[in-house]
Every structure is written in C-alpha cells, then in structure tokens.
Amino acid sequence: MKLKTIVIAILLGANAVQAAPEPSITGKPYTNPTNFDTSLPDLGDVSQTVFTPLDERRIGEQIMREVAVSDEVVQDIEVIDYLNALGNRLVAASSDKHQKFNFFVVRDTSINAFAMPGGVVGVHTGLILAANSESELAGVLGHEIGHVTQHHLARMLAAQKYDTFKNIAGIALALLVARANPELASGALTTATAVGVQNQLDYTREHEREADRVGLQILSGAGFDVRGMPAFFTTLQRGSRFAEGGAPSFLRTHPLTTERIADVANRVEQMPYRQVPDSVEFQYVRAKLQANNGPADTNVAMFSQNIREHRTSNEAVEHYGLAVALMRKNNLTQAENEIAWLKKNAPQHAMIENLSARLLVAKNNPQLAAQQYASALKLYPDNRALIYGYADHFLAVRQADNAIKFVQEKQRLYPDDAYFYDVLAKAYTMQNKQLLSHQAQGEAYYRKYDLTRAIEQMELAVRAGDGDFYQKSIAEARLKELRRMQRDEKKG
C-alpha cells in the first residue's frame, strides 16, 4: 500500500520544524563534567500553549499509523531493531526520560533525517550509507533527538500562535505538509495553508546550534565519539557524491553555516578524546542496505571486488553483503558458498544465522529451515528476525497449532508488536476460529495505531458465533475499552 500523497511529503522532507530551547528537567541550566559551555538561551516554554504531551503523542501515533503500512518505509526487522537500539541508547543519555521515541528508516537514497512531534524520528537509507562511522550516524540521531526533547516544533507553533488548529488531525497534516512541495498538499490542506505554515516554520541558526549542543551532550553521554558530529558535517559537504541534484536534503533543511561548524568544532575540542569502534551490527546493516539498493549485479560486483582487493576493514561484512546481493539475484548456490564462508570464518552472529535460514526457505527446504531457526533461536532467543522467520515458517507449512504456541511463548518479550497478533490472526483463520482471529487482528490494528479498524475487528469478534462464553466476554470487555479510548480521543 502506497503512502498517501501527504505522508510522502513528510518522509521526503519533513525534517522541518524546530525552534527554541528548554531548561533541563531540573529547571536549572545544563551542566557538563568537562566544563565546556553548554548554556542555551532561556526563551521560556510556551509550547504547552499549543501542544500538551497528549497532543504530541496523538500526532506521533498518526504518523506511525502511516509508517506501519508504507511501502516507502523499510519493514526489515533487523534494520528496524538496529536503529531503535541505537536511538534508544542515545535517548537514555538525553535530558527527557519520559518521552517515548519511534525510529524508522525511509527507503530513499538522499541523505536526510527528520524529527516530528511525539518522538517520531525518520532516517533515510541514503544517510545510513553515507555515514562513515557509527558515531556519525549517532551524531545525526542525537541532533534529531535534541529537536524532540526541546519541543522545537511546539514552541515554533506557539510563537506563531497557531491556536486555530484545534483538531489534532489538522495539526498533523499541516506539519507534514510544511516542508514538502506545496503542490503535493492538495487533498489534505489547501495550497495556501500549506505555504502559510511552511513560511512560518523555517529554521533559524539558533535552532540548529541548540540541536547541535544538545546532540553533543547526548552523543558523549551515550559513549560515542563526539567527533562523529563534525565528521558528518564533512560528509555532508561532500554530499553531491552520494545524491544526485546537488546538496544533500539534510543540508537544505538543516542549514550548515560556518558559524555552526566552528561552534561544534570548538566544543568538541574541549571534550575528551574517545575512540569508539563501530558495532558489527552497524556494519552488517549498512552492508544489507547497500546490497538491497540499486541493481543486484552492480552490488555483487562491488562486494566481490572489495573482497578480491582486500578493500575492507572487516572481510566478513563484505561476504555478508555479497550473500544478500546474490540472494536478490536468486543465485542461491553462490549465496550458500558465502554463508558457508561466514559460518567458518566470522564470529557467530544472529544476522548470519538468519541469513542462513532465509536461504533454506528460498531453496524450498522447510525441514532444514525449521532446524536452522530452532538451533539459531537457542543461541539468540530474543532475536525478532529469527522469531518472525520461524513463525512465518509455521504458517507456510500450515502448522497453525505450532505457530500459535510459538508466538504466545515469544509475545511476552514484545507485547506491543503487532506482527505477533497478525500471525495469530492467520493461524486462527486456518483453524476456522473466527472470534479469536478477529480478536487478534483487532489487537494488531491497535498496535498499529489504527483504533477505528481495531474496533471494527473487535465488533466482528463479538458477533462471531464460535467462541465460548469466556472468549466472548473478553472480546466484549476489550471492545468497550477501545470504544472508550475512541471517545476520549475525540473529546481531546
């Protein structure tokens, strides 16, 4: 399902909306153990006059509802889990311990990232591939987290007195359009409105400097090399290598001035030197994204050449990328050779085990695939890619009982994961258990932030005639709860 026109606008250019600073959660100025100046101008927190925390959460959920079904968003759970692990590590070092964040990856070759209300942070695949180190990528995320924790967007709207936007959906759409081509706004808001919002939500130098300062604090607190931030500035200045059409999108929406570069460089010089090696997850995820980007033949040639000429700091990463690219070409024999090399020469890793299982699925060998998933899950019982793969296997071989038992066992690890409920819905359908199927599908929609469809499915569950008294009572109670949530949402 394609994103709505309006939501494409966000993903391709929404790193828009930032404003002014906020005191620390103690109400006092920020302090730093290295004693370099981190003071920020106190402009007062007027954001609450426009957005309450509940408002921001609702807007974030509206955005994530579109993300959940978008073809423009990478749905690969290994990529998703890596980015969220990295993002949450940075969030833990931020000043706001209460803000929930959602990180996702947009399938786009441009160098771009953006933050939106409700802790929504998007990163383009092009930016991940352009980052020369994990600390560079972490620096960008820290910058975007800073925009969120400082409530920049809410402050800017408050300063412009956008108090006419009483409807949360109207606010969300206006914000999503703000940095997009106004021509794309038809059907969501009038072009005049979109242009009006755009004109009022431009960056300022102070906004960007503030996000840099907060981002540096976050980067240092999370244990990354703070030199990753100025190093990424250099990457941006070379950005025309990575993206057609001139400067990277990140530069157009995050202006990079001489003063800003000097400010970050001066602050970094006052901070202790810390050499931080890239995680192997960062390297494997980049290789996977590269292998799936552009023509498979080109990527096979590139990874092969890197291996042949020893142009790599980690040969296993090149063999991994080559295996992924070969599987894209359906060259399963050579892919199997690369995976065999990895299992013999590379340190054991969940992504290698998952790739091995996926190869067996592609070779239509369900028995060996099941053995591979089972053995890999003994090593990595919490790994979602392996869990997803094994659950999909049970569905593919129509072992509904095993699928249900397995998913229910793993659900406790990820209670808010919609995927598990989708699997349950399919498995119960195989068993012709309509109440349980609709109930599970309703819970899946609820976790995709789609309350309307969740209620529709729960209503079907209540009307199904195949459940026992206990099951029907649970469905009825849940339906009442969902309807109450919907009423509360409309009142808000």
Across the chain, what does the average pLDDT equal? 82
> Which three-class secondary structure string do you get for the chain?
CCCCHHHHHHHHHCCCCCCCCCCCCCCCCCCCCCCCCCCCCCCCCCHHHCCCHHHHHHHHHHHHHHHCCCCCECCCHHHHHHHHHHHHHHHCCCCCCCCCCEEEEECCCCCCEEEECCCEEEEEHHHHHHCCCHHHHHHHHHHHHHHHHCCHHHHHHHHCCCCCCCCHHHHHHHHHHCCCCHHHHCCCCCHHHHHHHHHHCCCCHHHHHHHHHHHHHHHHHCCCCCCHHHHHHHHHHCHHHCCCCCCCHHHHHCCCCHHHHHHHHHHHHCCCCCCCCCCHHHHHHHHHHHHCCCCHHHHHHHHHHHHHCCCCCCHHHHHHHHHHHHHHCCCHHHHHHHHHHHHHHCCCCHHHHHHHHHHHHHCCCHHHHHHHHHHHHHHCCCCHHHHHHHHHHHHHCCCHHHHHHHHHHHHHHCCCCHHHHHHHHHHHHHCCCHHHHHHHHHHHHHHCCCHHHHHHHHHHHHHCCCCCHHHHHHHHHHHHHHHHHHHHHHHC
Residue 229 within a domain: yes
Residue 224 within a domain: yes
Same domain, 85 and 224: yes
Same domain, 262 and 407: no
The confidence score (pLDDT) of residue 171 equals 53
The whole-model pTM stands at: 0.83
Q: Of 269, 298, 320, which residue sits at a domain end? A: 269
Would the pLDDT of 444 be above 70? yes
Residue 321 within a domain: no
- Residue 432, domain CATH: 1.25.40
pLDDT, tens digit, 9 for 90 and up, residues 254-310: 767 777 888 899 999 999 888 999 999 999 999 999 999 999 999 999 999 999 999
pLDDT, tens digit, 9 for 90 and up, residues 106-137: 888 888 888 887 888 999 999 999 999 999 99
Residue 385 within a domain: no
Domain count, the chain: 2
pLDDT, tens digit, 9 for 90 and up, residues 317-335: 999 999 999 999 999 999 9
Residue 179 within a domain: yes
Residue 382 within a domain: no
Domain residue limits at 169 = 5-269
Residue 75 within a domain: yes
Q: Of 253, 269, 285, which residue sits at a domain end? A: 269
Q: Of 235, 269, 303, which residue sits at a domain end? A: 269
Would the pLDDT of 26 be above 50? no
Same domain, 263 and 407: no
Same domain, 410 and 264: no
Residue 196 within a domain: yes
